[in-house]
């Protein structure tokens, strides 16, 4: 192959050592056999152990670095000449964005700008046929649409943006940059806005793995406010399949909402996990993990409800989730029970400091 040609067997994934990114790297290589160049800064949330199963597999290359590093991104594009870039890299935890928003602006806004800017330079130099085939897929969130009241209809792709946290505002800004690069330069972009994911390799700062981890340690399980906030939950492999579908079949310039049709209150999520742990661990008579549930002070600016209308991706591209919440949460609890070493390794050190910062002063 001419070294200036685009390589239709190579994909660049950013943030592929994090939760969804790592699941996607595994999924993509399994389903397509293509090579993945994985650019990840390895922040506290990036964990090479998530990619352990690919050790020695020539189809996966991890480059440790920042999407905001112009020279690095440019040289990776020149060296690997991918047919697509999938951008997962982000600061992703709402509570951290409340206590320290700076990194969210740096990575989610400035970093995404740098990545898409370099991608555009690379794309402009491709031949016409390659330009048409190239894709830049930006992975975003339903939080950009803000918060719903109890009876509001679910978010569609045309719901106006109304982000409420520094995290969702930074993701909204990145979505606007992606939109503008398509509109102004013609870069073939795709944006996906997905609801809450859960599954293997999720860092236990997020609700579901946090609850499992705390319950196993017999420590108080913190539920913010009244526990009646609602999220729409999607098993991570269904999200990976949706991203693959959009990458292969989506129309450049379009946005696709992705969701699991599983609107559940936080307290019901927590009770379900406690029930599954009671069942799986058959604890002593009289003990229920539910007794660990502790209501704590609310998250500032806490969005009340998210719900996704995934009709567009379902009807136009034929994607549907395979897991129900009942099947997905069972698999997830089992995975954490079967991987105590993974949990042990990531919950030492800096993790303890975060738990202290976020929970110690909460009443
Ligand atoms: P995560 O926090 O688990 O992983 C983020 C990854 O990005 C980590 O590996 C981290 O090291 C890497 N990273 C951070 N800053 C970087 C930088 N400057 N350069 C390169 N790499 C960097 O996040 P996640 O939950 O896997 O989310 C992935 C993406 O999906 C994010 O863009 C997030 O906004 C979006 N999303 C997440 C959810 C969810 O429920 N988790 C739902 C919808 C959308
Ligand atoms: O909706 C998609 C978003 O989902 C993603 O864009 C984010 O990256 C991801 O972190 C997630 O955001 P949430 O804020 O919804 O997820 P989190 O797991 O932090 O919290 C889920 C709900 O549980 C939320 O209403 C807050 C509540 N919660 C969370 C924690 C960590 C608690 O009650 N107690 C807790 O200790």
d(CA 100, CA 98): 6
CB 232 within 8 A of CB 308: yes
Rounded distance between C-alpha atoms, residue 84 and residue 75, angstroms: 15
Q: What is the pLDDT of residue 360?
A: 82
Active site residue 57: no
Residue 138 CA to residue 174 CA, distance in Å, equals 9
> Is 46 in a helix, a strand, or coil?
coil
Measured from the Cα of 67, ligand 1's closest atom is 19
Q: Look up the pTM and report it.
A: 0.98
Distance (Å, rounded) from C-alpha 340 to C-alpha 217? 12
What pLDDT does residue 331 have? 98
Q: Among residues 230, 166, 153, which one has the least CA distance to residue 195?
A: 230
Say what the pLDDT of residue 282 is.
74
Q: What pLDDT does residue 363 have?
A: 60
Report strand pairing: 82-87 vs 7-14. parallel
Over residues 349-359, mean pLDDT: 88
The pLDDT tens digits of the residues spanning 140-193 come to 999 999 999 999 999 999 999 999 999 999 999 999 999 999 999 999 999 999
Active-site annotation holder among 122, 145, 167, 256: 167
Q: What would the DSSP string read from start to end of 73-135?
A: HHHHHHHH-EEEEEE--S---HHHHHH--HHHIIIIIIIHHHHHHHHHHHHHTS-HHHHHH-E
% pLDDT > 70, the chain? 98
- Per-residue pLDDT at 285: 67
Residue with tokens 């009443």: 363
Average model confidence (pLDDT) across the chain:
96
Question: Which ligand is in closest contact with the Cα of 204?
Answer: 2
Q: Which atom of ligand 2 is nearest to the CA of 302?
A: 25
Instruction: Indicate the SS3 state at residue 306.
Output: coil
* Alpha carbons 303 and 171: distance in angstroms, whole number: 15
Alpha-carbon distance 294 to 274, whole Å? 13
- In the three-class reduction of DSSP (H, G, I as helix; E, B as strand; rest coil), residue 136 is classed as strand
Separation of alpha carbons 90 and 107, rounded Å = 6
Q: Output the CA 128–ligand 2 centroid distance in Å.
A: 43
pLDDT of residue 62: 98
Confidence category of residue 1, pLDDT binned at 50, 70, 90: low
pLDDT value at residue 100: 97
Q: What pLDDT band is residue 350 in, cutting at 50, 70 and 90?
A: confident
Nearest ligand by distance to the CA of 203: 1
Instruction: Find tokens 């045309």 and name the residue.
Output: 158
Q: Tell me which of 13, 20, 106, 307 to substitute to probe ligand 1's pocket, judged by most ligand atoms within 8 Å of the beta carbon.
A: 20
- 3-state SS of the chain: helix, strand, coil percent to 5? 50, 20, 35
Alpha-carbon distance of 100 to 266, in angstroms, equals: 24
Please tell me the distance from the alpha carbon of residue 338 to that of residue 347, in angstroms, as a whole number: 16
Give dist(CA 161, CA 111) in Å, integer: 21
Q: Angle at the Cα of 8 (from 244 to 83), degrees rounded to 5?
A: 65
Q: Which ligand is nearest to the CA of 192?
A: 1
Residue recorded with tokens 């909402």: 257
3-state secondary structure of 177: helix
Residues 6+ apart with CB under 8 A from 148: 154, 155, 304, 305, 306, 307
Report the nearest atom of ligand 2 relative to the CA of 358: 36
Query: Does residue 122 have an active-site annotation?
Result: no
- The C-alpha atoms of residue 335 and residue 327 are separated, in whole angstroms, by 12
Parallel, antiparallel, or unpaired for β 263-265 and 230-235?
antiparallel
- Per-residue model confidence (pLDDT) at position 292: 97
Q: What's the pLDDT tens digit per position in 93-140? A: 999 999 999 999 999 999 999 999 999 999 999 999 999 999 999 999
Give me ligand 2 centre to Cα 84, in Å.
30
Q: Is the CB of 359 under 6 A from ligand 2?
A: no
Whether 20 lines ligand 1, by a CB cut-off of 6 Å, is yes
Closest listed residue to residue 37, CA positions, set 92, 70, 75, 4: 75
State both tokens at 159. Answer: 């719901």
Q: What are the tens digits of pLDDT across the range 22-34? A: 999 999 999 999 9
> What's the 208 CA to ligand 2 centre distance in angstroms?
9
Percentage of the residues of the chain whose pLDDT score is greater than 90: 94
Which residue has a Cα nearest atom 44 of ligand 1? 141
Q: What does the pLDDT look like over 53-91, one tens digit per residue? A: 999 999 999 999 999 999 999 999 999 999 999 999 999
Q: How far is the CA of 49 from the centre of ligand 2 (A)?
A: 23
Given the CA of residue 221, which atom of ligand 2 is nearest to it? 36
pLDDT tens-place string over residues 277-334: 999 997 666 799 999 999 999 999 999 999 999 999 999 999 999 999 999 999 999 9
Q: Is 167 a catalytic residue?
A: yes
**Cβ of residue 88 lying under 6 Å from some atom of ligand 1:** yes
The DSSP H or E segment spanning 348 is none
The partner residues of 190 in beta bridges, in order of sequence, read 137
Outline where DSSP puts E strands in 240-308: 255-258, 263-265, 293-296
Q: Annotated catalytic residue: which of 40, 66, 143, 175?
A: 143
Pocket lining: 308 vs ligand 2, CB cutoff 6 Å: no
Token pair of 162, please? 């109304």
- Ligand 2 atom showing the smallest separation from residue 93 Cα: 10
């Amino acid at each position: 192959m001419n070294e200036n040609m685009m390589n239709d067997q190579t994909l660049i994934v950013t943030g592929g050592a994090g939760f969804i990114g790592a699941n996607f790297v595994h999924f993509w290589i399994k389903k397509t056999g293509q090579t993945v160049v994985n650019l990840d800064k390895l922040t506290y949330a990036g964990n090479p152990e998530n990619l352990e199963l690919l050790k020695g597999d020539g189809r996966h290359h991890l480059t440790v670095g920042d999407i905001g590093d112009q020279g690095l991104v440019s040289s990776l594009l020149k060296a690997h000449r991918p047919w697509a870039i999938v951008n997962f890299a982000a600061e992703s935890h709402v509570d951290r964005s409340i206590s320290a928003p700076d990194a969210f602006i740096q990575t989610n806004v400035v970093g995404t700008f740098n990545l898409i800017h370099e991608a555009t330079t690379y794309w402009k130099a491709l031949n016409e046929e390659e330009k048409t085939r190239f894709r830049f897929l930006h992975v975003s969130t339903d939080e950009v649409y803000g918060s719903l009241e109890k009876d509001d209809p679910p978010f569609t792709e045309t719901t106006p943006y109304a982000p409420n946290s520094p995290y969702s505002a930074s993701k909204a800004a990145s979505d606007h940059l992606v939109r503008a690069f398509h509109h102004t330069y013609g870069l073939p972009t795709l944006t996906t806005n997905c609801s809450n994911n859960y599954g293997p390799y999720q860092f236990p700062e997020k609700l579901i793995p946090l609850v499992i981890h705390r319950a196993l340690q017999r420590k108080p399980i913190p539920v913010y406010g009244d526990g009646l906030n609602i999220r729409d939950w999607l098993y991570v492999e269904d999200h990976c399949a949706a991203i693959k579908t959009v990458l292969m079949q989506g129309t450049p310039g379009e946005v696709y909402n992705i969701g699991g049709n599983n609107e559940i209150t936080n307290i019901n999520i927590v009770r379900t996990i406690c029930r599954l742990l009671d069942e799986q661990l058959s604890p002593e008579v009289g003990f229920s993990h539910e007794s660990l549930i502790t209501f704590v002070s609310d998250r500032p600016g806490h969005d009340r409800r998210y719900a996704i209308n995934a009709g567009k991706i379902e009807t136009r591209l034929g994607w549907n989730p395979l897991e129900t919440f009942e099947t997905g949460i069972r698999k997830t609890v089992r995975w954490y029970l079967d991987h105590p070493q993974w949990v042990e390794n990531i919950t030492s050190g800096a993790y303890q400091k975060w738990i202290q910062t976020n929970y110690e002063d909460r009443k």
